[in-house]
Structure formats: C-alpha cells, structure tokens
A = this chain, B = another copy of it.
C-alpha cells in the first residue's frame, strides 16, 4: 500500500471536529477505498484547551493556520476556518504556494477569491477541492466538474440554504409568520443568532457564484448576482402561492442567455408539481440542465457537521488517489470572463400582490398601466371585499396578479406608475415565477 496521506486541519468547529473524528474512526475503510491510509497529523484552532471529544495527542498543534499550511509534516491542508479574508485566505494561499493540496468548505472565500486560488493551485500542480462549500453533503461539485463533462449547461438552480427552506416550509405547513419561524430556527440551531447572512440570501449567493463558474466555464463574479432574501415573504404570499398551485422557495438560479449569464437569488414561485417544490425543511437540492443528459437533480443534507465532513472526506479521497481536476472544471486560462446578461426576462412571469385602495376605477387604472408596459395577465385573484359597496370608502383590498412572461424592467416601471398614482397602499410585493420541469 502507498504511503500515508498526511492531513492538516485548520478549524475545529462542528465540521472540523466531525472530520478528525471520522478520519480516525473510519481509518481502515478509508485506507481500502483510497488505496492508502489518511491520517490527521496536525491541527490548528483558537482554543487549545477546549474539550472536543477528540484524542488529539497524536497531532501536532499549531496556533497559526499559516504555519500549519506550510508545515513539512502535511500533504494536504484542510481549511475550515471560514471567512473570505484574513486567516482563511492567507493560509489557503500559503498552502497552495507551498505545494500542498487544499480542501476547503469555505464558500465565501471561493466566491471572492476562487479564480485567484485556482490559478495558484494550477501553477503549483496541486488540487483545490471544495465539495463541502456548495450544498454540504450533496456531491454537486464533483457532478458538475466531472460527471457532466459531456454537457453544456443551460441552467443550474437550487435550494442551497437550509435555514431559509426551513422557515418557508414551516410558514407554509403550519400557517405561521416569518418572525415566529425564524425564532424557532434559531432555537433549534438551524439559524445563527445573527441570521442576516442566511435570510438575506448572501449564503445562497456565495454558493451560486461557484456553481455558475462550474456550469458555464466562466470566471466567478459574485457581485453580479441579484440578491433578495426572504424577509418580505408574508403569510398572505404563502397562502396565495398555495391557492395558485405554487410554493415559495429561495432559489439561486444561473442561466445562459443570448446576451450573457444571468445570476439571481430571490424568493421564487415554483410549480407545486416540480421536483424542487417538494424539498422541505433543511434539505438542499440542486438541479442542472445539461444539453446532453437533460435535467439531473441532487437532493440531500446541505449542512451539519457530519454531512459536510462527508464532502471533505470525498475531496481528501480524490487527493489520496491522485485524482486531479482543474479547480473550476477548466484551467483558469480557459475560463471566459463573466459577462452579465443584459436584462432579465422570466419565462414564468411574475406574482404581484397589491393592496389596492377600494375606489371606483382603481383596478381599471392598474390594468391600463400594466397594459401600457405590454404586460399580459394570466390570472387575477381578489377575494371578498371587506368594506363593501363602491364609493363607500377606500380601505385597501389585497389583489394578486400573475403575469405572463415579461421583463423585469417592464414590471418595475408598471409598479412605479401604479405607486405614483396612489392606487395602492404600501409597496407592492413582487415574486418571480420560475418555469421548471
């Protein structure tokens, strides 16, 4: 059997502790599957004294991740520190420059510096693997980088944040409000004390930025992503979606258009019968439309110490086997610059919820303003009028509009005109509808 692969692990939080435990517990099976033993020889974390339930007596301890990264004792550096700058960025760069393979779960780092780091890896002939960075335990990176080699991808989309999906699922299944579900998610450990990063869509955006590069062979451009979180989703939206045959999911979507690549993260109406609509709770799912294979969907746990460690181990197994691919699927020199699509055109149209003042002619005026932007309406839903006869008052009534395919710009202009004429109370709610198989 070949020589041991010596692993250095920086960051001993939930994932790091799971990883070190599993490498020890499954040592024999891993050696058989990888053709050589894998051994944790060095670790680095902030607090040396904390009990993590691990026997680290055989490991060299480093206080500085950059020192671990370049240590002659390791073959591969596992970065589980997190964050797109500072220690994570410095140590990964140092490891690659020192000719160490790198495995990381750090989506923020890759979304920001992926191309730079891929180039360094390439120059030094080492692997940069990051299966755990996108959708946790789901092997979507390997699938896109390797299994879909014969495909040009038209679209990739998915549910990549378990916190948001948990909240939306609870809201729908139990008729609860956003705040209540968020509080429950925090209590159960599915959401951070500061949940901004998840619920505002940034976590999904990081993952999408990486998938976009893998899907289209282009450079990573996270700043080009349109990002909208789920905080504005109300019970009324969830109920209206259900009535109209949809469910609301926070999707990351990237697709190739004639004018470039479109990347967006936002709450999305998906047909109830679609595969993605049926992903509940903290599960993740990613769908890829390939021109050769058709649509492939991968479903599984998107977070959690063990599920994430499973992905890290798969990356280590590839290193152990000497299996190397360019980090982003193609060599950095062959990645195309990211070119943003000129405008958004949604095949599935839009869901619009308005609070319309109950005045004679108000709705006719709204319809006229929509028509002026050449927006056709597929359905209009208005339930019982609480305040009665025309002319009696102007208490606002909820009205739901579903448009046919149109452009984002047209919808925004129409809504601005509607607001300007004081036809509606508050800001209209706008949710994109995605056409799915």
Interface residues of A, Cβ cutoff 8 Å to B: 22, 26, 29-30, 32-35, 131, 137-139, 142-143, 146-152, 217, 275, 278, 290, 292-301, 304, 306-307, 309-314, 317-318, 321, 323-326, 329-331, 334
User: How far, in whole Å, are A314 and B301 apart by their CA atoms in the complex?
Assistant: 25
Q: Is the CB of A314 within 8 A of B34?
A: no
User: How far, in whole Å, are A74 and B32 apart by their CA atoms in the complex?
Assistant: 31
Q: Is the CB of A150 within 8 A of B300?
A: no
Residues of B near A34 (CB, < 8 A) are 149
In the complex, the chain B residue whose C-beta lies closest to that of A149 is B317
A149 CB contact (under 8 Å) in B33, B138, B324: B33
A137 CB contact (under 8 Å) in B294, B321, B324, B326: B294
User: How far, in whole Å, are A29 and B307 apart by their CA atoms in the complex?
Assistant: 33
Residues of B near A307 (CB, < 8 A) are 292-294
Q: Which 6 A-B pairs have the closest CB atoms?
A: A150-B313, A139-B147, A149-B317, A293-B310, A296-B300, A137-B293
Main secondary structure of the interface of A (DSSP, over half): mixed
Q: How far is the CB of A11 from chain B (nearest CB, A)?
A: 18
- 12 further A-B contacts with Cβ under 8 Å, apart from A137-B292, A290-B310, A296-B301, are A139-B146, A146-B317, A148-B314, A149-B314, A150-B312, A150-B317, A292-B309, A292-B310, A294-B306, A298-B299, A321-B325, A323-B324
Residues of B near A137 (CB, < 8 A) are 292-294, 296
Residues of B near A26 (CB, < 8 A) are 150, 152
Residues of B near A148 (CB, < 8 A) are 139, 310, 314
User: How far, in whole Å, are A321 and B323 apart by their CA atoms in the complex?
Assistant: 8
User: How far, in whole Å, are A307 and B317 apart by their CA atoms in the complex?
Assistant: 27
Q: How far is the CB of A385 from chain B (nearest CB, A)?
A: 37
In the complex, the chain B residue whose C-beta lies closest to that of A320 is B149
A298 CB contact (under 8 Å) in B29, B298, B317: B298
Q: Is the CB of B32 within 8 A of A334?
A: yes
A142 CB contact (under 8 Å) in B138, B142, B324, B330: B142
Q: How far is the CB of A256 from chain B (nearest CB, A)?
A: 13
Q: Is the CB of B146 within 8 A of A314?
A: yes
Q: Is the CB of A294 within 8 A of B290?
A: no
Residues of B near A295 (CB, < 8 A) are 300-301
A139 CB contact (under 8 Å) in B33, B143, B304, B312: B143
Q: Is the CB of A33 within 8 A of B306?
A: no
Q: How far is the CB of A254 from chain B (nearest CB, A)?
A: 18
Q: Is the CB of B292 within 8 A of A300?
A: no
User: How far, in whole Å, are A133 and B296 apart by their CA atoms in the complex?
Assistant: 16
Q: Is the CB of A147 within 8 A of B142?
A: yes
Q: Can you sample 7 A-B contacts with CB below 8 Å? A: A33-B149, A33-B329, A35-B326, A137-B293, A143-B143, A294-B307, A323-B325
